[in-house]
Structure formats: structure tokens, C-alpha cells
Amino acid sequence: MQSPRHLVSIDDLSLDEIRSLFEHADHFAADPRGFADTCRGMITASLFYEASTRTRLSFESAMLRLGGGILTAAEMRTSSASKGESLADTVRVVGGGYADAIVLRHSSEGAAQLASEFSPVPVINAGDGAHEHPTQTLCDLYNLHVERGHIDGLEVVLAGDLKYSRTVHSFAYALARFNANIICVPQPGFEMPKYVLQRLSDEFGVEPLRADVRKLGDLAGSSDAVYLTPQKPHQLSLFTDLSDWQVQSVDAVYMTRPQTERFGEGDLSDTQYMRLEKRSMDADSLRDAVVMHPLPRRDEIDSDIDNDPRSIYFKQAARGVPIRMALLATLLGKIQLAGKPPKVQRQVWPVVAGSNPCPNPSCISRTEPRHVTPKFTLRSRTPLVAHCAYCSRELVFRFVGCSTSKHYHAPDSRELQKVLPDHLVFLPDEGSAQALAYSKAHA
């Protein structure tokens, strides 16, 4: 039996496949009631461990318009999860006969990746903690496609809570892949996380530059803005270069609300949250910019600009249905996309000994420790740098051991190049090395 195809990350789709999804979405949008036989007899299950309105309803609307059925578990806290059932067991049960695809939203980062490892049917990530939200990203990209006709080379402002917004993280990765330029205008204290910037640097050669955003007017305020572009090989460093990138004009402003449900201790800021008002849109640089928002909004966009033709956030939400119709029909095998899937599949290895080196308390490897084997990917061998295979955070350790030689080394030791990845052991200190009966390797 062929393994199902999942959508855990936006990286699970090639650029050609995304463009093909746009074409199918255009057809569905032109005649939303004309495809009621596409998925007749098929069922999707909505497993939502977190609250949702637009994402859940748009997926359910998409499946119904395709002629399929839906099973809704909109509040998983009242399900068997409240009795201690693991996510792995839940998806095995639901995918084992109840449904033909699973749409999953979960508060733990990496939950969708874990579900994909156990589910016999396609898993679609509808948001996992502060990690990723690939279908919202597809919707956002599709809106740029509709409004601008292209994505390559666009100047897109990401504003607000860039620290906890999974929508922003997925969108930034996708924009970089499409060679768009990103102007980060964060709420003070809620800048783009280092692990997101690191991935943008590793995979797309993006070097952050301080941005001169005076032409954005009130929108930028006192924000410490950063310019990210995959198109120009900057040698400048965010922290060492004194020159600023001059932001002249913008194609889209993507506002985000404060993700208060993910705030940690000390995250509440005394600074008033940024707000996009009618006067903000008078800035010359925003004259042709469309205003986007993943919704729901609070006070970060004034209702006075709802009728501004540049404000497309309600259209943006509506267009989530045809793009999700295209995605569901693809993963259920009812339509074929032009283009081939991504060639490069990341290599993943299990943590074979010692404690879990992932520092993220919201990672699924920590929230369900009895059911999840921690896994990692390697970014560098010298020095050795590894990331959690579930939540993408960089692992924390002082030493690295070898499970066969029982020796441990400093991360920058060249001897580690000789150790196979599945023999690596991450050690937080010498005490944990001694507890495993490892001895220090001689220089």
C-alpha cells in the first residue's frame, strides 16, 4: 500500500506544485458549486485541539463543496485526549477507518509531524503551536497571486507579533522561496525568532539588514525593522553594519494580532500594540499596498479602513475555500498537480541515549514524552549543530558522545565527523556523560 502524502510544512510542496494549486483554485473559485462529484463518498476529520473558526470552517466548506463528508471534533479537550490518549493513538484510530484525511490543529509544536508518522491517511497541518501553518500560507500566497499576478520580487511587510505567529513563520519561508522581499516590522519585544532567521539564512542565503522604514510612516513607529531578501547576496551583518536598507515602496502589509494565548512569562508589554489606521495608509510607500490579515483581528487594524479597496483581509479569508479545495482534492488523489514534489527530503535520526536535548517546552516531544521518541536533524558537523526534528529549535548541549565508543567530545571536535549520526548522544554537562559511563576523549 502506497504511503499517504501529508502537508506538515509548506516545504512539502514544490514551487511548481504550489503554482498548480493556484490554477486549480482559480477553477474552483470561478464555479464553487460545480465540483460536487470530485470527492463524493470521502470523509475528512477535523481534529482541533485549539480553537478555530476560519481554518476549520473553510476546510469543512471545501470538503462539502467537493461532495465529501466531514467529521468534526472541534474541542478535542473533551475527547479521549482528556483521558490521556496520545495523539499518535488518536490519528491511528481516526485514520484507520473513520476518515480519508485528517485536518489537525494542535497546541504543541511538531504535533503535525508526529501525526504524519502514525496516520494511515493524509495529515494536513492546520497549525501546530507557534511553529507552522502551511495552509494559511497557501491562502496568503494565493491572495498575492490573485491581487498581484506574481510573487517574485514583491516587497511584503510582516508587522506585529512575529515571535509567536506561526502564520508569519510559514509565510516568511514561502516568500523567501518565491524570491520575495520581507520587511519585518515587529511589535517591540516580539521580533522574528532566531531559529526562523537561522533557517532563512541556511536555506535561502538570507542575511538580515537593518531597515530604514521612515517612509512607512506611522506603521513603523519605533519598531526595530529588519529587511530580509533572498535575491541579493548581502555580506552585511545585522549587528555590525551601520547602513540601513531604504524601504521605498511596499506591495503588501501583513498585520498580525498579539498571540496572547502563547505568551510566556514576561511577554506582556507596556508598549501599546501597533495599529494600522487610516492615516497610516496615507504614506507614499503604502499607496499601492494591499492590507492582509490572517484574522481574527483585535485592535491592530482600525475598522475605518475596512472599506478601503486596498484592504483585502475578508477576501483573503474567503479565498481560503478554493485553495483548500485544491489541496484536499490533491491529497485525496482526485486531481494531479503539474510539477514534481520537492526532491530533497531531510534526514532525521532518533535521540538514542540521554535526556531530550530539545529546549522547547511546547514541543510535542516534551508535551507527550511517553509517546514520542525525540529526533533531530543536522545543520552542521563542525561545529556540530542540530535541530529538533519536530519543532525546529536548535538543540542545547555542551558535549556530544558516541554511543559505540562511549567517548564524548566538545561540539567543535573534528573527531565527531567520524561518528555516524545515529550514534550521536547529546550531553548537557559532564555529569550526564558520567551517568552514562562515557569518558572524555583525548585530544
Beta bridge partners of 124: 7, 103
132 CB neighbour count, 10 Å cutoff = 27
Known catalytic residue at 133: yes
Known catalytic residue at 54: yes
pLDDT tens digits along 163-178:
888 888 889 999 999 9
Q: What is the DSSP string of 212-251?
A: E-GGGGGGTTT---EEE-SSS-----TTT----EE----S
State the pLDDT confidence band at 270, using cuts at 50, 70 and 90.
Answer: low
Question: Could you give the CA distance from residue 197 to residue 200 in angstroms, rounded to a whole number?
Answer: 5
pLDDT tens digits along 334-345:
999 998 998 867
Question: Could you give the CA distance from residue 313 to residue 290 in angstroms, rounded to a whole number?
Answer: 9
Region 305-327 average pLDDT: 94
The pLDDT of residue 300 is above 90: no
Q: What per-residue confidence (pLDDT) applies to 283?
A: 83
Q: Check 83, 340, 343, 442 and give the catalytic one.
A: 83
Q: Highest mean pLDDT range out of 33-42, 72-81, 262-271?
A: 33-42
Q: What per-residue confidence (pLDDT) applies to 412?
A: 93
Region 287-293 average pLDDT: 91
Q: Check 105, 199, 319, 393 and give the catalytic one.
A: 105
Cis peptide before 230 (omega within 30 of 0): no
In contact, 109 and 130? CB cutoff 8 Å: yes
Cβ-defined contacts of 238-241 (< 8 Å, 24+): 238/207, 238/208, 238/209, 238/210, 241/209, 241/210
Report in angstroms the alpha-carbon separations of 335 from 20, 37, 101, 254: 11, 12, 15, 31
The pLDDT of residue 262 is above 80: no
The pLDDT of residue 347 is above 50: yes
pLDDT tens digits along 205-229:
887 877 777 777 777 766 678 888 8
Angle at alpha carbon of residue 289, lines to 222 and 180, rounded to 5°: 85
Known catalytic residue at 55: yes
Q: Domains in the chain, ordered, with CATH?
A: 10-130+320-331 (3.40.50.1370), 135-316 (3.40.50.1370), 349-440 (2.30.30.20)
Q: What per-residue confidence (pLDDT) applies to 61?
A: 97
Q: Check 106, 133, 199, 387 and give the catalytic one.
A: 133
Q: Check 44, 55, 167, 229 and give the catalytic one.
A: 55
pLDDT tens digits along 373-408:
999 999 889 899 999 999 999 999 999 999 999 999
Region 352-366 average pLDDT: 94
The arrangement of strands across the sheet holding 424-427 comes to 424-427, 399-402, 407-409, 439-440
Residues 6+ apart with CB under 8 A from 318: none
State the pLDDT confidence band at 277, using cuts at 50, 70 and 90.
Answer: confident
Q: Check 19, 27, 54, 406 and give the catalytic one.
A: 54
What would the grid cell of residue 43 be? 470523509
Q: What per-residue confidence (pLDDT) applies to 244?
A: 63
State the pLDDT confidence band at 233, using cuts at 50, 70 and 90.
Answer: very low
Q: What per-residue confidence (pLDDT) applies to 128?
A: 92
Residues 6+ apart with CB under 8 A from 57: none
Q: What percent of the chain has pLDDT over 70?
A: 90
The pLDDT of residue 238 is above 60: no
Helix 134-148 and helix 15-30, axial crossing angle in degrees, nearest 10: 70
